[in-house]
Amino acid sequence: MLASSVAIIASGLFFLSGLLTGVMKYQQIMASPKGEAHIYIDICHRASLMYAFACVLIYQFVLISQLPEWLELTAVLLLVVYFATAIISYFVHGVLKDTDNQLKPPHHVGNTKLAPGLISLYMWALITGEIGGFLILFYGVIMTLI
């Protein structure tokens, strides 16, 4: 029950984030001579909306899966936490307007340089966490349905 609650609440929060960053995107478009928002506000807006619907999928998988609650919760938290950290990083870069490619070295947030290897470590953790979390839930769904 807790895993499904986390997934559906996260869906609502991500959708709200998408709506609010949509307002920011519109404001930046209207204020820009080129009629464009900062790339990371645009990415944040779109990612928030996509992650909202991804969380609805995750919610449905949790409802079907018959895995232990602690395992489903772990999987959901892996997915939701990494979705959230991605959205937050997009938002911060969009507000600070400090880069148009957060994966291009040298890595920084605002004027603060990040330690070498930190972004690579984060990205591999994100990849592992998101794919691993999904595979756990997908396994639970498959085992329930066959």
Domain edges within the chain:
2-145
Degrees (nearest 5) of the Cα angle 107, 110, 115?
Answer: 35
Average pLDDT, the chain: 96
pLDDT category at 35 given cuts 50, 70, 90 is: very high
Ramachandran quadrant class, 97 (left: phi over 0; alpha: psi -120 to 50; beta: rest): left
The model's pLDDT over 37-87, given as tens digits with 9 standing for 90+, comes to: 999 999 999 999 999 999 999 999 999 999 999 999 999 999 999 999 999
112: which strand partners?
109
